[in-house]
Amino acid sequence: MRITLIAGSNQQAATSTRLTEYIQHLVQSHGHQATLIDLNKTPIPFYSPDDAHGGHEALENLKLAMHEADGIVLATPEYHSGISGVLKNALDHLGQDHFNNKAVLSVSSSGGAVAVSSLTQLQTIVRNLHGINCPEWISIGGDQRKSFQTGVAYSDIHPDVDKRVRRVLNAFLDLTTVLKVRQ
Ligand SMILES: Cc1cc2nc3c(=O)[nH]c(=O)nc-3n(C[C@H](O)[C@H](O)[C@H](O)COP(=O)(O)O)c2cc1C
């Protein structure tokens, strides 16, 4: 299967991005193809209804990876009880043809204990785009973010956090498989 992951932080050392890289690593270890779009490394122009930005390399790559995806992972920092501006901007460039009937896993990192607001917002956007929300999501908050700071090896991720990430990822991959068979 092909999984496309969008890391929606504009910070180089973002914990949500490091977590997304870890999820990419796990997806690949399951034998699937995983394409990671890091919006900090490959910025997308501001969406405008007046300008389709045709030929913009990063935007074309994003749209292609989303078209080809069987399942999608969206990751965001929790900013002011919502998702990041860069992720919302990227999603505004996309439509139902990128999401229709595909499994989507929402992932977030927050200063507070749980990133419920941004995850709920993401699931609302996914519903609007006709994606199928994975019933579970992944939230790292407070001290849980230490496992995803720069320089921390995957083998040093806190066992409780690792267990949850792997369990939710398995549920997401199962849902992706079921939806792919039905298409
Ligand atoms: C502009 C801004 C707004 C934030 N708003 C919240 C918030 O509403 N709730 C919260 O728990 N943390 C908030 N934080 C803290 C971030 O969620 C936290 O630093 C998170 O780890 C950032 O994710 P990242 O490491 O992927 O960049 C905010 C941080 C910034 C810079």
Nearest to 122 by CA among 170, 90, 166, 169: 90
Look up residue 36 and give its amino acid: L
Distance from Cα 109 to the centre of ligand 1, integer Å: 7
Structure confidence at residue 182 (pLDDT): 77
Give the residue, by CA position, lying nearest to ligand 1 atom 29.
79
| 2-182 classified as CATH 3.40.50.360 | yes
- 34 C-alpha to ligand 1 centroid (Å): 26
What's the pLDDT tens digit per position in 140-153? 999 999 999 999 99
User: Taking the domains of the chain in order of start, what are their residue ranges?
Assistant: 2-182
Distance 92 CA to ligand 1 centre (A): 21
CA distances from 109 to 15, 136, 153, 177, 180 (A): 7, 15, 18, 27, 29
89-115 pLDDT per residue, tens: 999 999 999 999 999 999 999 999 989
Rounded mean pLDDT of the chain?
97
Residue 74 binned pLDDT confidence (cut-offs 50, 70, 90): very high
